Structure 1
Amino acid sequence: MDVVFLSRLQFATTTIFHFLFVPLSISMALFVAILETMYVRTGKEEYKSLAKFWGKLFLINFAVGIVTGILQEFQFGMNWSAYSRFVGDVFGAPLAIEALLAFFLESTFLGIWIFGWDRLSKKVHLLCIWLVFIGTAISAFWILIANSFMQHPVGFEVNNGRAEMNDFLALITNGQLWVEFPHTIFGALMTGAAFVFGVSAWKIFRKQNADLFKSTFLIATIIGLIGFFGVALSGHSQAQYLVKTQPMKMAASEALWGKSGDPAGWNLIAFIDPDKQENSFELNIPGLLSFLSYSKFSGEIKGIQELQAEYTQTYGEGNYIPPVRTTFWSFRIMIAAGMLSFLLFAYGLYLHRKKKLDKLGKFFTRSALFGISLPFIANTSGWIMTEIGRQPWTVFGLMRTEDSVSPSVSAGQVLFSVITFTGIYAILGCVMAYLFVKVIKKGPYGEKPEAAIAKDPFSDSFKKGGKRRDS
């Protein structure tokens, strides 16, 4: 194993693990803000209890996300010093703004929110959690500015072997950013919705504060459906932009070796042979690729072989074909996971409208719990497709991956850091899972499930033996 492979492996593991927490933090902040808004508007204590319950899970996720983000940054100085030197002038401003503005905003007001329940007025306290949500979204925006530059470099000039920013506005108005950012945010909404949906279904099935969790089940269902349609529309825009800026990635994601024909069909399944540069089998949906690319059922897409010849003329001799199998299947895994999530949300809405939540079965409950993983799978496979499909470039058209690694770092040193970071991530993952399960089992009242049922202001047992606490 060489340095380039190990450095890429470490980047993949640290980025994927960190990105498990980012979308969940964004969406959970929104869920907590919605629940606290309902508490402030209605004055019902049950919404306050729910806001605190989901807030605890948000805080756990947020804390682990910070740790994984710090570890991720270490590798840029260790393994990617040549890359850092090349893009440092461009990345410096947006990443500094992210740290000083967005992260400062979300962390400061999160602290105020945690300790301000009995010290601030309801409306001021509510404002704090909404600012936390806004801060998480702004943080994603500035980080995606950097990633968008890697996909479609703009607003720079190369001097003395370094990319130097000469147009800050061009970075902010980068077309890649404005198709990537909505896709990320809507994907985050689906992630949090699936988490709340699954946990709420489990609580309803177990008859633990069941009526209380019906409200979060419905909120999760609605936000999940909004997230799905937002992901679909923004993904469509992203595909159309990809045809213009990174046609090789589009061709690889379709395992399209020669020209597509007109209209272009979309390969649902393909048996890919990269050595022969052909597919031994294809299951094709006619015209769909043209629609994805041009919003009409006509139009031709360039193939990998033609693009390889064009890239050779532009950039010189070399292999410009990304790993086709990985790009192709990661794209389809993303779509499949998204569609399964949609089916769960749609069926959940049906159950709510038909008032069948009291009779949830084991199969649906287990499906809802499994559904928690689906947006994470979709997010991960989507990023794999985005980053692998850009190869062999670190910065598209400017810097190759093989030229980006640290020249003085050995394979053994990188392997040691890979093992160390993976071990730390495994520990963090176990700790987080333990804390999540502990908080979820206790429920919104921090008691044993049996005791909590009796105190549920929505439950039948409470209505018979006590008074409602909806003041």
Structure 2
Amino acid sequence: MNVLDLSRWQFGITTVYHFLFVPLTLGLSIIVAGFQTAWYRTRNPVHLRQTKFWGRLFLINFAMGVVTGIVQEFQFGMNWSEYSRFVGDIFGAPLAMEGLIAFFLESTFIGLWIFGWDKLSPRLHLATIWLAAIGTNLSAYFILAANSWMQHPVGYRLNPATGRAELTDIWAVLTNSTTLVTFPHVLFGAFVTAGGFVIGVSAWNLMRRKDVELFRTATRVALAVTVAASIGVALSGHAQAQIMTRQQPMKMAAAEALWEDETSAGFSLFAVGDVERGRNHVNLQIPYGLSILATGTPGGRVEGVNDIQARYQALYGPGDYRPVVGLAYWSFRLMIGFGVLSALLALAGLWLTRRGRRLPGNPWFYRLAMLGIGLPFLANSLGWIFTEMGRQPWTVFGIMRTAAAVSPGVDVAEVAITLVGFTLVYGLLALIEVRLLLKAIRSGPETEEASGKTPDPDPAPALSY
């Protein structure tokens, strides 16, 4: 293996690992804020205990996400210095905004939320968790804006004198059409992840008849959130597929193992093909499904891999512009499959608890719910693997290939050592994360006495600091 291959493996491993924490943080921050809002409005002590219990799990996950995310930005300078030199003027802008605006907002108000229970008025304290949640999700928007620019570069010009891409319109970067469809898709996916996590943790406690009222309430809330968010994932994913078909047709063609241009194209359920010859031996399809997904109409025309390859060679010069078709094809299907299973599990839970019914005494649903915690994480990870691998061989689509982005002064030994080192450190962090979460889950919510007394909501604008 060469420096390019090792650098790609390192970036892939650290990025996928980091993104395990991101969706849970995004979704759980809003759920915790929702429980605290319910407590502020109703003064029901169950909601206060909910807030503190799920808030503790949120903080563990948030801290681990921050630690693992720091490495991401360092890698641009370590392994991808040519990329940083070429697009740093553009790519650095939304990342700087994320650090100066969003991360400052979330970190500041999370600190106030942690230490402000007995020092801030309930109204002001409630505002801190909402501001932290807004900052967390705003942070995701800026990062997705940077990533979307790599998928669909806008608002820039190439300077022939310096050989660099230069920013001309930051508003175009922040309102990139790719960002506008990617952000809601990621956000809905985060709610599915957080909802599945709350359902699974609640199921573990309900099987043991621990804090039944508290965890039954949490389960009902999380079931509704997961079902609603799953619908949002499907709708935003459909919009994203249409944008992707227009901007990166090769990615969609690879995702469907579609080799030739086709009208009224079917959605492939299972295919066995010959990549070298550009054809399928077996292809089980849903008629018209791909045309509907990609174009919105049953008779829509979708470009195939072979035709796009010929067009790209004429446009960009000789080369292989196909991603790893098998990886794109199966990651796309598994992403959808795991997401559908999450939605079906939540629907089953809603059905079992319809019209105020209690959850069943039979533990089968609880066991499935605990196993189901992993489904959204798998769907999220596979979605990002598809997004990033499907763009290859481009780092910035249409203007910079991945092979041209790697650092010239780094050798194989250096990348190999850091690859092994980061992987081992991240493995250790995974063990720490799991142990901390399990310890917090087993200890359960605080009792009303242990949770402490908090002042009544202030009836007037006067605030007690």
Counterparts of 1:94 and 1:193, CA distance in 2: 29
Match of 2:155 in 1: 155
1:354-393 aligned at under 5 Å gives the runs 355-393=356-394
Shift of 1:221: 0.7
Within the candidate set 184, 202, 213, 1:182 is matched to: 184
Q: Decide whether the 8 Å contact of 1:155 with 1:165 is kept in 2.
A: yes
Structure 2 match to 1:268: 269
Q: Is the 8 A contact 1:205 1:361 kept in 2?
A: no
Amino acid at match of 1:373: G
- Give every structure 1 segment of 4 or more consecutive aligned residues whose post-TM-superposition deviation is greater than 3 Å: 354-358
Identity %: 51
Q: Aligned letter for 2:183?
A: F
**Any conservation in 1 of the 2:272–2:280 contact (CA below 8 Å)?**
yes
Please, which runs of 5 or more residues in structure 2 have no aligned partner?
452-465
Partner residue, 1:51:
51
How many residues in Structure 1 have an aligned counterpart in Structure 2?
449
Cα pair 2:49 2:447 within 8 Å, conserved: no
Partners of 2:137 and 2:339 in 1: how far apart? 21
Whether contact under 8 Å (1:113, 1:125) holds in the other structure is: yes
CA distance in 2, matches of 1:238, 1:188: 16
- Describe the superposition over 1:163-218 as per-residue Cα deviations: whole angstroms up to 9, x where unpaired: 10011111122111111111011111101000001111111111011121111101
C-alpha contact (below 8 Å) 2:352/2:359 kept by paired residues: no
* Equivalent residue, structure 2, for 1:227: 229
Residue 257 of structure 2, aligned match among 230, 255, 258: 255
Please show how residues 136-215 of structure 1 align to structure 2 within 5 Å. Answer: 136-159=136-159, 160-215=162-217
Unaligned 5+ runs, structure 1: 456-471
CA 1:360–1:412 in 2, change beyond 3 Å: closer, same or farther?
A: farther
Superposed CA offset, 1:6-55 (max 9, x none): 10001110100000111111111111101101100011112111100001
- For residues 358 and 323 of structure 2, the distance between their equivalents in structure 1, rounded to whole angstroms, comes to 47
**Does the 8 A contact of 2:102 with 2:135 survive in 1?**
yes
Match of 2:90 in 1: 90
Letter in 1 for 2:146: A
2:106–2:135 Cα contact (<8 Å) kept: yes
Structure 2 distance, partners of 1:243, 1:436, is: 40
Using the TM superposition, give the Cα deviation of residue 359 of structure 1 relative to its aligned residue in structure 2, in angstroms: 2.8
Matched-pair contact (CA < 8 Å) for 1:205–1:358: no
Distance in 1, matches of 2:431 and 2:182, equals: 31
1:354 CA displacement:
5.2
**How far did residue 412 of structure 1 move?**
1.2
Alignment partners' CA distance in 2, 1:298 and 1:177: 28
Query: 1: CA distance between counterparts of 2:419 and 2:363?
Result: 40
Which residue is 1:122 aligned to?
122
Whole-Å Cα distance in 2 between the matches of residues 359 and 191 of structure 1? Answer: 23
Do 2:353 and 2:359's aligned partners in 1 also have CA atoms closer than 8 Å? no
- 1:334 corresponding residue in structure 2: 335
Asked if 2 retains the 8 angstrom alpha-carbon contact of 1:255 and 1:328, the reply is yes
Measured after TM superposition, the shift of residue 358 of structure 1 is 4.3
Q: Is this contact kept in 1: 2:291–2:299, CA < 8 A?
A: yes
Q: TM-score, normalised by structure 1?
A: 0.93
* Partners of 1:331 and 1:385 within 8 A in 2: yes
The two structures have a TM-score, normalised by structure 2, of 0.94
Structure 1 SS opposite 2:353: helix
Shift of 1:363: 2.4
Please name the residue that 1:466 is paired with: none
Aligned match of 1:460: none
Taking the TM superposition and a 5 Å limit, the aligned residue runs for 1:423-442 are: 423-442=424-443
Q: Deviations over 1:440-463 (max 9, x none)?
A: 01110279xxx99xx9xxxxxxxx
| Cα distance in 2, alignment partners of residues 227 and 358 from structure 1 | 22
Residues of 1 paired with 2:57 and 2:273: CA distance? 42
Equivalent position of 1:69 in the other structure: 69
What is the CA–CA distance in structure 2 between the aligned matches of 1:65 and 1:50, rounded to whole Å?
22
Which residue of the partner structure matches residue 81 of structure 1? 81
Aligned equivalents of 2:374, 2:310: Cα separation in 1: 41
Q: Distance in 2 between matches of 1:320 and 1:301?
A: 17
